[in-house]
Amino acid sequence: MNLESLGSINGNLIFIQCIGFIGVLLFVISYQIKANKGLFVCQMLGCLMFCIQFFLMGAYTGAISLIINIIRNILLIKSKDWKWAKSKIVLAIILIALIVSTIVTWNGPISLLPFASIAVTTLGYWTNNALKIRLSQMIGSPCYLVYDVLVQSWGGVVSESIAIISIIVSICRFGWKNLSNE
């Protein structure tokens, strides 16, 4: 390997890691938004950044699970207009799609981490309760934190580390009672 190709590899790795750090910014902003719709939009954009990063890194289970996450968030955002989008049938379809995608992209036990994270947060988001949404993220974030370490998504590591702190800040900022009433 010559010096020129080494520079290209380093440039690509830096670019790929930068994509994750854009995702970090979007997730931090999301936890400071009280309204669920705003939280979903910011998280959807953050997921898109990490999805792109995971595809470029070859971490396909993480990438596909985030595509499912994005679709879930779109359905939740539009659920006031599309009443069917918040049904238990749609919830089941999302969870089945997550199971199938995990099987198809199986890369050993590491593949269970994105599955667990997205499944738990999907169940939390289906409650439409801001507190339960944030608590489900506090369960899902450690799963993705470990996944990010294993696939070397440094933006993902930072994002999941900050997510827990940011969730706690939002709970303190809005209060348990106020979040439960959303």
Which amino acid is it at 125?
Y
Q: Which contacts qualify for 51-54: CB closer than 8 Å, 24 or more apart?
A: 52/19, 53/16, 53/17, 53/19, 53/20, 53/23, 53/153, 53/155, 53/156, 54/151, 54/153
Q: Mean pLDDT for the chain?
A: 87
pTM: 0.81
105-148 pLDDT, tens per residue? 999 999 999 999 999 999 998 987 888 888 898 899 899 999 99
Per-residue pLDDT tens over the stretch 27-53: 888 878 888 778 878 888 999 999 999
